[in-house]
């Protein structure tokens, strides 16, 4: 008999997850709205909500339920438990100070990108946009410099799995939505050691990203600098950023190797 373990699901956990996502996406909801959203009776929804509230994951104000502060402690624990974060935090801050721009440390999780840490220099633009992204579901990888640096460094079968699952959404007219074209760019990224986002996620914003690897050359994430496209159009500026990023990534990789278990 075939093992069907991987297909088994605990319905109560799935419902709790759907409640959390509904509250995140709507910034709060009533009992009736939550019940309708997860397809259960109000009494059943109330049982879930009461349990989650007792555990600190949601709070109720008036007739509105919202996510609770317990998620803050969990998120901070996950961040500080990351060896990549520990090795990169100071480097990210120094790079933001040196360039004056926005610097992003990104990891891949379930085929999407998550900002593990970000720092904004005095000349950074789009800070509100990037801060808002932190509150959204994980981002597509194919339209960002950090994401393309990761995709180009993954095994090809894993990259194809990600693209099969999440597709190639067009965020701007510059977004690459053809897989063959994207894979051609991956070859260029591997040859030159960095990826470029030319207004592919947000019009007017460009970025350069480089992968960060462990001692076995497995990609752990990427580090990127995003700037106004007008600044990136200056070759001297772009070359300076590229060299700074490569040196920063190398420093992080050295730190990871020297602190490995």
Domain layout of the chain by residue ranges: 9-72, 82-258
82-258 maps to which CATH number? Answer: 3.30.450.40
Residue 209 has pLDDT above 90, yes or no: yes
The arithmetic mean of pLDDT across residues 166-193, rounded, is 96
- The string of pLDDT tens digits covering residues 89-131 is 999 999 999 999 999 999 999 999 999 999 999 988 776 666 6
Report the length, in residues, of the chain: 261
pLDDT over threshold 50, residue 2: no
How does the average pLDDT of the chain come out, rounded?
91
**pTM, 2 dp:** 0.86
Question: How large is the average pLDDT for residues 165-187?
Answer: 96
| Tens-digit pLDDT profile for residues 35-55 | 999 999 999 999 999 999 999
Residues 197 and 145 sit within 8 Å (Cβ to Cβ): yes
Residue pair 112/101 in contact (Cβ under 8 Å)? The answer is no
What pLDDT does residue 3 have?
Answer: 45
Pairwise pLDDT comparison (135 vs 256), residue with the higher score: 256
CA separation for the pair 92, 224 (Å, rounded):
9
Specify the DSSP class assigned to residue 172: S
Just give the CATH number of 9-72. Answer: 1.10.10.10
**Separation of alpha carbons 73 and 50, rounded Å:** 20
Tokens of 10: 């605990």
Under 8 Å between Cβ of 84 and 107: yes
The answer to whether the beta carbons of residues 202 and 126 sit under 8 Å apart is yes
Strands 64-67 and 58-61: antiparallel
């Amino acid at each position: 008999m075939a093992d069907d373990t991987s297909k088994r699901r605990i319905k109560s956990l799935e419902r709790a997850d759907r409640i959390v996502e509904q509250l995140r996406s709507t910034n709060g909801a009533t009992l009736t709205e939550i019940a309708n959203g997860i397809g259960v009776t109000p009494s059943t929804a109330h049982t879930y909500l009461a349990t989650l509230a007792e555990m600190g994951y949601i709070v109720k104000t008036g007739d509105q339920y919202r996510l609770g502060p317990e998620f803050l402690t969990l998120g901070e624990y996950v961040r500080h438990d990351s060896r990549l974060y520990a090795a990169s935090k100071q480097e990210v801050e120094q790079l933001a100070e040196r360039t004056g721009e926005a610097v992003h440390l990104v990891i891949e999780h379930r085929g999407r990108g998550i900002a593990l840490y970000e720092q904004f220099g005095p000349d950074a633009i789009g800070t509100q946009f990037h801060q808002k992204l932190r509150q959204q579901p994980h981002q597509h990888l194919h339209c960002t410099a950090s994401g393309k640096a990761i995709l180009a460094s993954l095994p090809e079968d894993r990259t194809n799995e990600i693209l099969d699952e999440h597709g190639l959404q067009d965020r701007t007219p510059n977004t690459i939505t053809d897989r063959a074209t994207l894979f051609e760019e991956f070859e260029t990224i591997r040859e030159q050691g960095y990826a470029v986002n030319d207004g592919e996620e947000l019009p007017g914003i460009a970025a350069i990203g480089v992968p960060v690897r462990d001692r076995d050359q497995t990609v752990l994430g990427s580090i990127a600098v995003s700037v106004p496209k007008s600044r990136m159009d200056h070759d001297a500026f772009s070359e300076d950023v590229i060299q700074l990023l490569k040196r920063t990534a190398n420093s992080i990789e050295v730190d990871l190797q020297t602190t490995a278990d």
